[in-house]
Chains A and B, each alone.
Chain A
């Protein structure tokens, strides 16, 4: 069974904390993505990576950074968490082919207080 695993299902952090969200895939996918999901806004791309140590900004990268040191692992970092970063975060991975779907993790619901 293919798997994308996010390290936490629920997280509560304080304003100003540095937050790490981890994602691991076991499918040898080239592409990995971090999305943010908010009601009425759908899924918005924060960052993606198409290879180890390679990253590209998505639509809403401000306040976030990423790290991909190994092919299977893609980390999202909130440098200084703020309340407007309270959201559901979804990690996904896919092969680098047009006609293949992305596989998603179970999501991390982050609350910043």
Chain B
């Protein structure tokens, strides 16, 4: 089984600033993937970024980057140059090679971007 911990229920960031959303994971799988999703107030889940456990480099997708520290079991999401449209819930998730590739989610962080 896998466990995801997001310790920040809510975060505020000034527009155009960078923000880091924390995520730690616990897994016994030798190989696993880490995902971040965004959920705006409309409710849809939007996939943002993926990091594989054996990837040598941190993943980046536009303004999103994943600060992957395997030894510390952390996979923090960094959003650069925040925009008002970034205000949303953000979920960290993991999936491993056991359990039919189930996707396990954390409790989420609500990000509010302040103009």
Contact = CB atoms under 8 A, between A and B. Distances in A.
B51 to A, nearest CB: 9
Contact of A98 (B44, B47, B91, B96): B96
B100 A40 contact: no
A35 B101 CA distance: 15
Instruction: Give chain A's interface secondary structure class.
Output: strand
Given A98-B32, A98-B95, A107-B43, A48 B108 contact: no
A33 B104 CA distance: 11
A45 interface: yes
Interface stretch (A11-19, A67-75, A87-95): A87-95
A101 B108 CA distance: 17
Interface residues of A, number: 27
Interface of B: 6, 9, 31-33, 35, 37, 43-45, 47, 50, 52, 91, 93, 95-97, 100-108
Interface of A: 31, 33, 35, 40-45, 48, 50, 56, 58, 88, 90, 92, 94, 96-99, 101-104, 106-107
25 contacts: A31-B101, A40-B9, A42-B91, A42-B107, A43-B91, A43-B93, A45-B104, A48-B100, A50-B101, A56-B100, A58-B102, A90-B45, A92-B45, A92-B103, A94-B101, A96-B100, A97-B101, A98-B31, A98-B96, A98-B101, A99-B52, A101-B47, A102-B47, A104-B37, A107-B43
